[in-house]
Amino acid sequence: MTDPRRALPAVGTVLDGVQVRACAAHWTLAMVTDAVRALLTAARAGAPLPADDAAWAAAVTRHLEARTQASLRPVLNVTGVVLHTNLGRAPLAPAALEAMAAVARGGSTLEYDVAAGARGDRHAHATALLRELTGAEDALVVNNCAAGLVLALQALAAGRETLVSRGELVEIGGSFRVPEIMTASGTTLVEVGTTNRTHAADYARALGLRSAAIVKVHRSNFALEGFVAEATIADLVPIASGAGLPLIHDFGSGLLLDLSAWGLTGEPTAADAVRAGATLVIMSGDKLLGGPQAGIVLGTRAAIETLRRHPMARALRVDKLTFAALEATLALYRDPERARAEIPALAMLTAAPEAIHVRATAVAAAIGPSATVEASEASVGGGAFPTARIPSAAVTLPGDAMAIERRLRAGRLPVIARIAESRVRLDLRSLPPEDDAMLVALVREALA
């Protein structure tokens, strides 16, 4: 065996190559020099040494592309989980993307009142639409649902006690644990009832002089079945108001449209939640609402005003991009049919199974004879409708599932698929239809 180190060229020699030098026109000479050094170091450790100028140029390009790749980049979601928290939850509607670009480019009315020619109120954006669509008296937009709950507890219950059912001391999405959020908000948690059964009388009995609020948490990502009981918001309203305490409803999903016609039943809409009478209803912007990451706090004028004036509101506020996307998404809901068609999360969740099957058949045919179509079950994700299984269709790829799944992830645009029964499955319900052609191209590249 020859010692590869013997054959290592000098950095300058590699940089003299015509094609390597051409790389410097695209990147910079300093970056190309660094890349050559890194590749030589790798070769010294045993990596293959590029054979000629063309091979060096290709290796330098690959190295610099990997090094300069953005950390946050798009992927194709064919997991069948429509609101995948790890993949960024709701895709935005075209109207939301346009609104973001429009205010991102230059100045905006973020805190400026054009009519008055004077300073305006950041918190005014989206508020009118939220009131119109949910029937709430007032609304406040913060960073996410967790932030909304933190702000509500800090403003209304810090230093005192907050009552929560033992059945609602849940963990939602890995880092959101109701008891930890309460502690971090400076309120003392008072556990009420038992894991499977909590009655209205349990809350009434737990009330005391130090009570500051009652919190009701939507269970979101799991279902309790069997010998269970819980107090509804309607049960809790008289108890809270009788004691003069705010009732805070951590509602989560942000559902604005009744989707029961599409098989998604049993979850209240935001308007239902507001009507039930809690003082505050808190929900996410990027779950079933289909908008940007945001926490939407709906409630009485007085409670929202208290939150708005709290110093933490400044720390939890959102930027112009969020307001732009949220307002544009909410505006689509003025026409429910338009919302369902144009908000991608809703369009994906309500697409006819036959339509998904037709797409899957076309995608499989374009991939090649080895790809087949199978019935699949998609899910909502994002901790909403946790038990709902939505009929869907998946393209199934033969071969070594682990290896194919890995190659799909390593492509120029990562394809995030699912493995079931030792087969890679590409569920098309979670992919916008306009990405089907791109999916075909990426799968063919991965299989080549």
CA 426 from chain centre, in angstroms, equals 20
The yes or no reply on residue 383 touching ligand PLP (CB under 6 A) is: yes
Return the number of the residue (33 or 253) whose C-beta is nearest ligand PLP.
253
Name the segment binding ligand PLP (CB under 6 A); options: 73-81, 113-121, 138-146, 405-413. 138-146
At closest approach, how far in Å is the CB of 248 from ligand PLP? 11
Report residue 299: phi and psi, to 5°. Answer: 175, -170
Q: Comparing C-alpha atoms, which of 89, 76, 63 is closest to residue 411? A: 76
The 164-203 contact track toward ligand PLP, x by CB under 6 A, reads --------xx--x---------------------------
Least distance to ligand PLP, CB of residue 207, Å = 24
Q: Give 14 or 142: the residue with its C-beta nearer to ligand PLP.
A: 142
- Binders of ligand PLP among residues 234 to 253 (CB under 6 A) are 250, 252-253
- Minimum Å gap between C-beta 340 and ligand PLP is 21
Least CB distance from residue 175 to ligand PLP, whole Å?
A: 9
Please tell me whether residue 290 binds ligand PLP under the rule CB under 6 A: no
Q: Binding marks (x or -) toward ligand PLP, 356..375, rule CB under 6 A?
A: --------------------
Q: Which is nearer to ligand PLP, 83 or 257 (CB)?
A: 83
DSSP β-ladder status, 138-142 and 295-299: antiparallel
DSSP string, 79-98: SSEEE-GGGTSSPPPHHHHH
Of 43, 52, 56, 50, nearest to 5 (Cα)? Answer: 43
Give the footprint of ligand PLP on residues 211-230 (CB under 6 A): 217-218, 220
Q: How far is CA 138 from CA 110, 280, 281, 300, 318, in A?
A: 19, 10, 11, 6, 17
145 scored as a contact of ligand PLP (CB under 6 A): yes
Pick from 124, 36, 174, 131: which is nearest to 334 by CA?
131
295-299 and 112-113 beta bridge pairing: unpaired
Q: Strands (DSSP E) along 170-287, which ranges?
A: 171-172, 176-177, 188-192, 211-217, 247-252, 280-284
Angle, CA 5 vertex, CA 4 and CA 6 arms, to 5°: 90
Binding site for ligand PLP (CB under 6 A): 144-146, 172-173, 176, 217-218, 220, 250, 252-253, 284, 295, 383
